[in-house]
A and B are shown apart, each in its own frame.
Chain A
Amino acid sequence: MNEIFSFTRWFRLVRKHGAGHGRKYLLGLLAVTGIILIWFLFLVLMQGYQPLSWPVQVGTYFVVLFMVGCLFGSSLFSDLASRPRGINYLALPASQLEKTLCALLYGVVLFFITYTLVFYLADVIMVKVANSVTYARWLKNHMPDEVYRPQQVVNVFTDMLEDRHDRPNPNVMALLFFFSIQAAYILGSVYFSRFSFIKTTVSLLVLSLFIILFLAKLLGAFMPDGHFLDGLNQYSVSTSGSEEQVILLPDWVNTVFWAFVRYAMAPLLWLTTYYRVREKEI
């Protein structure tokens, strides 16, 4: 018997999780769809011109993704918060890796896919509604030389400034950042048995503050007066004269740092979650 991972056991676990939580998840998705629909409807009714513009659609997608994703992430291991549920969870004959992967499948992969589908469902409907409403308004109020421009359903993963090829796509960056932040909330759901969402939020804020203060103090102690220019590998030193002094580090420093922030944070936090679940006592 494979004690670490068996597909048969994992599929059983996925099936069981789906059957046990399916109704709850479906209701959650309906609620999210309702919130997006109501928000878009509010904008259509309140804003006369271009109510569902590119920033509105993209902004709504990411704001709701972060809020709902982190809230859902912080409830992913909530079973471990109560002894009866925790015993039921930990005593189930499956490996800790299978249990963690099952939670990540529902909490990260399926959540992201279904949320995106649900968002587009609401978005497509509301863009059509918005176009009919704004077209009716345009017919009623437009100036003679004014052309009616219907709104489009946007691709939330593309950069608004498409010609900016030399920089990373901020929307994809936001998505990668979401996975890292959500991973922190998932880890928080294992660490904190009560109020895990609030406690994780506070912990992240304290940690961010600590890092900012620490870096400012640490860097201030041994770096000359100045500031970073473009990335972490260019540091401009303040001089009294007109000549500019720049300290250059190899490019790979910048590349490695950003690659870590973008791609390694979430997997590392998922890995920590796995180890934390493995050593969880109840």
Chain B
Amino acid sequence: MVSIKNLHFSYRRSKVFSGLSLQLEPGFVYGLLGKNGTGKSTLLRVIAGLLFPDQGEIRVAGQVPAKRKPSFLQEVFMVPEEFYLPDVPLDFLLRYQASFYPGFSREQFDRYIREFEIPSGNTLQNLSYGQKKKVLISFGLAANTSLLLLDEPTNGLDIMSKSQFRKVMAGALNEKKCIIISTHQVKDLENLIDRITIIDEGAILFDQPIEQVARRLAFRISYDNAEIAAALYSEQSLKGSAIVSNNPAGEESKIDLELLYKAIVHNRPGIQSAFNA
């Protein structure tokens, strides 16, 4: 679905990517994590054809995004972090915008709007920021594009909305669709993503399927000093220490994405060694 080879990209003064390679397949939800300013949004915009790489090859569904051909654009939908929706009634979007997406389903859109509890009959301008975002996410999902790019989708959503978001997203995936969610709010992606990709300083810091992470690493609270000392990563919490350790038995453990993220940032070689073993 998305094939990136040796991607180089820089803004006028600062280099963002130098030699990034990534392969993403349909049927999965990818979580793109990283600190602010590490290039997550830039990568999404390069994939969407909104930015052009300086060097390297990028193909999305066999097409070159930078050409922005209609057949490519109707297969990619992006929900940017800062988005724009015109001041029109909800029906306008369906009447005038939906027709550009051959796979758009009105029935699906109505279902998502109901699940997100968006009041109908309002113009979009009368909706709150979070509601507008949910409209855009609903539209993106109902457009049924092969690739859905979500940049910080849970920013501005309240607690209930975040839970609605996870529920909606969980039911939206199919074998033909690839969803990439970029966020720094790792907790919002728990139980949602199939593969975790962490970007730092323009390079892939970590890229593993969630299933593999659950088998190779163990996440738990420990009071045992020896265990804490031997852990790949540990941090003090109110109840003992939260640790990430090797999982030699291969028993599936519940992943704490936030802890995993910190462990990778602080002890990348240690975490990587668990996957090389």
Contact = CB atoms under 8 A, between A and B. Distances in A.
B224 interface: no
Contacts of A93: 70, 73-74, 100-101
Main secondary structure of the interface of A (DSSP, over half): helix
Interface string B73-98: 11011101011111010001001110
B83 A3 contact: no
A80 to B, nearest CB: 11
Given A19-B96, A91-B50, A94-B100, A83 B70 contact: no
B100 A19 contact: no
B114 interface: no
Interface in B91-111: 92, 95-97, 99-101
B157 to A, nearest CB: 17
A20 B96 contact: yes
Interface in B112-159: none
B80 A3 contact: no
B80 A87 contact: yes
A281 B50 contact: yes
A16 B70 contact: no
B60 to A, nearest CB: 13
A39 B97 CA distance: 41
B80 A12 contact: no
B33 interface: no
Contacts of A98: 70
A15 interface: yes
A245 interface: no
A280 to B, nearest CB: 9
A208 interface: no
A84 B83 contact: yes
A94 B83 contact: no
A281 B70 contact: no
Given A83-B80, A84-B82, A92 B100 contact: yes
A122 interface: no
B92 A96 contact: no
B83 A281 contact: no
Contact of B70 (A3, A15, A88, A278): A3
A82 interface: yes
A34 B69 CA distance: 43
A84 B85 CA distance: 9
Query: Which 10 residue pairs spanning A and B have beta carbons closest together?
Result: A84-B84, A93-B74, A93-B73, A16-B96, A93-B100, A3-B69, A85-B84, A88-B84, A84-B82, A281-B51
Given A3-B69, A90-B50, A91-B77, 14 more contacts: A1-B71, A3-B70, A9-B70, A16-B96, A20-B88, A84-B80, A87-B50, A87-B78, A88-B83, A91-B50, A93-B73, A93-B74, A95-B69, A282-B50
